[in-house]
Amino acid sequence: MDNIDKLVKELLRDEYFTKLIIDPDEDCIEFWKQWENGEQGRKEAIRKAREIYIPFSIGSKELLQEEKVDVWNSIEKEIFEENDFGKREEKSKKTKLYLYGIAASISILFLILVLRDFTRHSEIVSPGVTMIEKQSPLGSISSFKFRDGSVVKLFPGSTIRYSEDFGVDTREVHIAGEGFFEVKKDPDHPFMVISDSARTTALGTSFNVRTKMVNGKTTVSLVTGKVKVEPLNGSIQNGEIVELTPGEEVSISSNKLKKQSFDIVSKTAWVDGIIYIESKSLDESLEILKRWFDVQFVVNNGWRSKGFKANGRFKNQSLENIMMVLSDSYQFEYKFLSANKIEINF
C-alpha cells in the first residue's frame, strides 16, 4: 500500500475529517488546511478522500446493523489489513474506490448522529434580531433541519440565513446559491424563502431554489405541493405573483419572468448526489464541477468551445472519470496541474 493509500485510509477513519466533509467550522477547516500542507501526499490524499465522501454524504441507504458489520468486515479484509494487502494482487482503482465509498457511507451514517449537535453556523446580530447562518462548503452537500421539522439540502457553496426565533411567529429563510426545501405543513406560519430577486411562499411542499449566485438568474422549481413566487427589488413589474403547480418552474432575471415546465429528475438529481449535465456549455459544466469538487480550471483558447454541448449523468464518479467523458464531448485535452487545479487546452 503506497503512502497516499495509507493516508486515505486514515482519513476515512478520522471522525474530525468526516466533520470537515459533513459540517465544518472555522477551526476544523483551518486544522485540515495546515495538515494538508505538511507531509508530501497529504493534499492528494484529502482530495481523494473528499471525492469518496461526496457521493455518500447524502442519500445513503440506511443499513441494518448486521449489514454494517458484514460490509465493514469485507472492507477490513480487502483494504485495511496491510499484511494481506502486500501479498495479494493489487485491486483495480475502480474496486478500491467502491470499497472506500462503502466505508465512507457507513462512517457518515454513524457520524451524522454524533455531529448534528454542533452544526456549523455563525450568528449575525441586527437590532433586536439574531440571525443564524449555515453554509455548505465547496465540495460538499449539506442537509439542515429546522426546528419545525422542515429540511433543506444545500448545494456546495450555498448559504442560508434565518432568525434565531424561526418558527415562533414566522418561518423565513434567506438563501444565496441553491437549495432543495422540504417544508412541513403549518397553515398559520407560511414558509418563505427569500433570495435577492424573489420571495417564495409555501405551506407544505418541496421545491428547488437556484439564485443568481449560480447562473445569473433566480429559478424556483416546484416538485410537490403549491407555491407562489413574488419578484423582489424591481426585478420585473412590481406586484406580479406567479403560482406554480408540480412540474412547473419560474425563472426571474433583471427584466424577464419566464414560467415553464421542467424535468424533475434532472433538476433535483444533485439532491441524491448525482451530477447531471444536460445540453450544457463548457462554462456551465465547469461551474458545476468547481462547486462539486472545489477545483479551479485554466482554459486556454476557450473560444473554440463555443457551440459545443455535453450531456452526462455521473454518480459515484471520480473527477478524473468525468473529465475524460467531457473531454470527448467538448473536444479538449486536459491535465492536472495540482490536486485542485486543472488545465484545459483546445
Q: Quick one: pLDDT at residue 109?
A: 37
To the question of pTM greater than 0.85 for the whole model, the response is no
DSSP at 171: E
Total of domains in the chain: 3
Note the pLDDT of residue 127: 55
Last residue in a domain, options 65, 89, 117: 117
Indicate if 151 and 190 belong to the same structural domain: yes
Rounded Cα–Cα distance for residues 169 and 42 (Å): 48
Q: The sheet that has 227-231: what strands, in order across it?
A: 122-126, 129-135, 159-163, 171-176, 191-194, 198-202, 227-231, 242-244
Are 160 and 192 part of one and the same domain? yes
pLDDT in tens, 251-276: 887 667 889 999 888 889 999 889 98
Q: What is the DSSP letter of 271?
A: G
Task: pLDDT band for 54, please (50, 70, 90 cuts).
Answer: very low
50/285 Cα distance (integer angstroms): 20
Domain that holds residue 184: 121-266
**Domain final residue, candidates 87, 117, 147:** 117
Same domain, 20 and 137: no
- Say yes or no: 210 and 291 in one domain: no
Same domain, 71 and 126: no
Rounded to whole angstroms, how far apart are CA atoms 222 and 268? 10
Asked if 142 and 173 sit in the same domain, the reply is yes
CATH number of the CATH domain containing 288: 3.55.50.30
CATH of the domain at 139: 2.60.120.1440
Are 261 and 245 a contacting pair, CB within 8 Å? no
Query: What's the chain's average pLDDT?
Result: 76
**Do 213 and 256 share a domain, yes or no?**
yes
Do residue 128 and residue 258 come from a single domain? yes
Report the 10 Å Cβ neighbour count for 328.
9
Strand ranges (DSSP E) for 127-197? 129-135, 142-145, 151-154, 159-163, 171-176, 178-182, 191-194
Is the pLDDT score of 180 beyond 80?
Answer: yes
Residue 113 has pLDDT above 60, yes or no: no
Q: Does 29 lie in the same domain as 89? A: yes
Q: Do 44 and 156 fall into the same domain? A: no
Q: Judge if 155 and 292 occupy the same domain.
A: no
| Alpha-helix runs per DSSP H in 63-156 | 65-75, 82-85, 93-115
Can you give the pLDDT at residue 248? 93
Q: What percent of the chain lies above the pLDDT cut of 70?
A: 70
Pairing of strands 248-252, 218-224: antiparallel
Asked which of 266, 299, 327 is the last residue of a domain, the reply is 266
186 with 318, same domain: the answer is no
Which position has the higher pLDDT, 305 or 184?
184
pLDDT at residue 21, rounded to an integer = 65
The per-residue pLDDT for 112 is: 32
Cβ atoms 35, 50 nearer than 8 A: no
